[in-house]
Structure 1
Amino acid sequence: MNKSFFIVSVLFLLTIGCKTSEVKKDVKTDVKNEKSTRTNNVQILEKEFIIDGLNEKSHKVWVYLPPNYTTTSKRFPVIYMHDAQNLFDAETSYAGEWNVDETLNKYYQDSKKGFIVVGIENGGDKRIEEYTPWPNKKYGGGKGAIYIDFLVNDLKPFIDKNYRTKSKAKHTAIIGSSLGGLISFYGGFKYPDVFGKIGALSTSFWFSNNIYAFASRNSAVKNTKLYMLIGEKEGGSMVADTEKMEKLLIEKGFPKDNLTTKIVSDGKHTESFWRDEFLETILFLYN
């Protein structure tokens, strides 16, 4: 991890109070070093993406394939996630990884259900810009629409072309935490015909009040499933903000059966919290 990302991440968390069957040549079969904890079915694409209009940084993309990917001709649901540095590998993580690969490998062993996970690395000190649809007076940002449009118009078509995916919205999730939760919420409601499942974990609704007007305008979706998670020890107004959003969505017609909000009494704004709750998020969204 670069130093600038580490410094920005620490300051930000303190501020919010916690707070066919072959993969094509764009996949790098690189060798892990001894410190790496990612499993063998996680790869980093050779192709790096520069998002026009966002920033000059190229973005690496990580892809997790289910254990049976190479032994079957099946197609799989796809989960798009942010902050890829924190999802699979302790070596690249900010403060511990989510163990997404180990968790889904174990779930496959138990259920024989598999998923493809696409993790997009954040832009380090540009993370706030990428994950916020509107600017904040104090923290700036506000280029999240560009990031989401990139996922929809560039990255998802690339993934659907190069991997055996189930490409319809009902098989496609977008999941993230903190600002990653905010941009997942925004992306799912902006493009319900692309992302039919949203995991908004410890969502930073506080970043801009515009999120409530946006949700009000876009809440009458029939098929979207939404899982919201929050911890009582995350600080600030995050629990109240999440409860406010839940109430608003239901009042505006969002189907109650498609929405779950989980409040965890000892939940903190940490990677370990999201790691421990990840499987439950998946089980609700793909039930």
Structure 2
Amino acid sequence: MPAATVCLESGRVETGQLDTARLDAPLIFRVYLPPCYDRQLDTFFPVLYLLHGQGFSDEQWERMGVVQVAETLMAQGDIPPLLIVMPAEQDHYAPPERNPYGEVLVDELLPYIEANYRVRPERAYRAIGGVSRGGNWALYLGVQRWDVFAAVGAHSTPFFRTHLPADLRAWVRAIPAGRWPRFFLDAGMDDPGLEPILRVEQVLTEEGIPHEWHLNRGAHDEAYWSAHLRDYLLWYTEQW
């Protein structure tokens, strides 16, 4: 964990883009830098990748209030300073086998972030999460690239329909015992897509994969996710 530092400044959000031959256009992303990032030149920070929902973009998490909640928790000493990376997906409909977005995130964006920002390179200090379709991607990458992410948050996540339940079951079975990422799943009771979300949780339970599961009041919308940002951030960072 980075050493605690008294800092009265606020953090900031930078925008960037990554040129890649795998996508039709550069990958757009935002990076939240914690307070006094520029002064702590010898400090390397944990990093959290947060993916937006279908029909939204890299601004969604910031608009929902993740920066304000993170800074409040840091000021209270409840979470350590961290970087938050929020990339934008271009194709909001194609399944992962026909969409290179996931490959770009892991194979290109992640190395770019580690080369250009002071983030810790160890798996233990790298987490990924998302809401709705972004949660689909987070869970998909978490089980396919279990060696990359130590914690995976899937918020209101029905998963990719063509891969549930058979493929998801096969993928989690392929993870070596004891090497599973930590998993956090949650949803609102009034989510119209609750049935497949419950099936995701059922697969993890039946396969003996440790995970945290919460069924809360609420629907499938930003009001629900915003209300639980504190819970999400506390969970992602609890082992940092």
Q: TM-score range by the shorter chain?
A: 0.7 to 0.9
Instruction: Specify the alignment match of 2:88 in structure 1.
Output: 121
Residues 169 and 192 of structure 1 are in contact (CA less than 8 Å); yes or no, is this contact kept in structure 2?
no
Deviation at 1:270, TM superposition (A): 1.2
Amino acid at match of 1:170: A
| Change in 2 beyond 3 A, CA 1:233/1:51 | farther
Find the partner of 2:182 among 225, 237, 247: 225
- Count residues with an aligned counterpart: 218
Residues 11 and 36 of structure 2 are in contact (CA less than 8 Å); yes or no, is this contact kept in structure 1?
no
Deviation at 1:161, TM superposition (A): 0.9
Instruction: Specify the alignment match of 2:60 in structure 1.
Output: 86
Amino acid at match of 1:201: H
Deviation per CA, 1:258-282: give whole Å up to 9, x if none: x1111112x1111121122122122
Instruction: Specify the alignment match of 2:219 in structure 1.
Output: 268
Find the partner of 2:96 among 118, 124, 133: 133
| Change in 2 beyond 3 A, CA 1:53/1:59 | closer
Deviation at 1:155, TM superposition (A): 0.6
Deviation per CA, 1:170-197: give whole Å up to 9, x if none: 2111111111111111011110111111
Residues 185 and 198 of structure 1 are in contact (CA less than 8 Å); yes or no, is this contact kept in structure 2?
yes
**Matched residues, percent identical?**
24
Uncovered stretches (5+) of structure 2, i.e. residues with no partner: 1-9, 53-57
Amino acid at match of 2:203: L
Amino acid at match of 1:198: V
How far, CA to CA, are the matches of 1:160 and 1:260 in structure 2?
Answer: 29
Amino acid at match of 1:119: M
Residues 226 and 285 of structure 1 are in contact (CA less than 8 Å); yes or no, is this contact kept in structure 2?
no
Instruction: Specify the alignment match of 1:58 in structure 2.
Output: 26
Residues 11 and 37 of structure 2 are in contact (CA less than 8 Å); yes or no, is this contact kept in structure 1?
no
How far, CA to CA, are the matches of 2:171 and 2:162 in structure 1?
Answer: 15
In our comparison, the structure showing a higher alpha carbon Rg is 1
Instruction: Specify the alignment match of 1:28 in structure 2.
Output: none
Instruction: Specify the alignment match of 1:277 in structure 2.
Output: 228
Residues 226 and 260 of structure 1 are in contact (CA less than 8 Å); yes or no, is this contact kept in structure 2?
yes
Amino acid at match of 2:46: P
Instruction: Specify the alignment match of 2:43 in structure 1.
Output: 74
SS in 2 for 1:127: coil
Deviation at 1:239, TM superposition (A): 2.4
Deviation at 1:209, TM superposition (A): 3.7
TM-score normalised by the chain length of structure 2 = 0.83
Instruction: Specify the alignment match of 1:157 in structure 2.
Output: 111
How far, CA to CA, are the matches of 1:226 and 1:247 in structure 2?
Answer: 13
Is 160-169 or 211-220 further displaced after alignment? 211-220
Deviation at 1:120, TM superposition (A): 0.6
Task: Please report the RMSD computed on the Cα atoms of aligned residues, expressed in angstroms.
Answer: 1.9
Deviation at 1:216, TM superposition (A): 1.1
Deviation at 1:214, TM superposition (A): 2.3
How far, CA to CA, are the matches of 1:52 and 1:183 in structure 2?
Answer: 20
How far, CA to CA, are the matches of 1:104 and 1:186 in structure 2?
Answer: 25
Instruction: Specify the alignment match of 1:13 in structure 2.
Output: none
Uncovered stretches (5+) of structure 1, i.e. residues with no partner: 1-38, 89-96, 135-141
How far, CA to CA, are the matches of 1:275 and 1:168 in structure 2?
Answer: 29
Instruction: Specify the alignment match of 1:33 in structure 2.
Output: none
How far, CA to CA, are the matches of 1:81 and 1:170 in structure 2?
Answer: 16
1:156-235 alignment, distance < 5 Å: 156-205=110-159, 207-220=160-173, 221=175, 222=178, 223-235=180-192
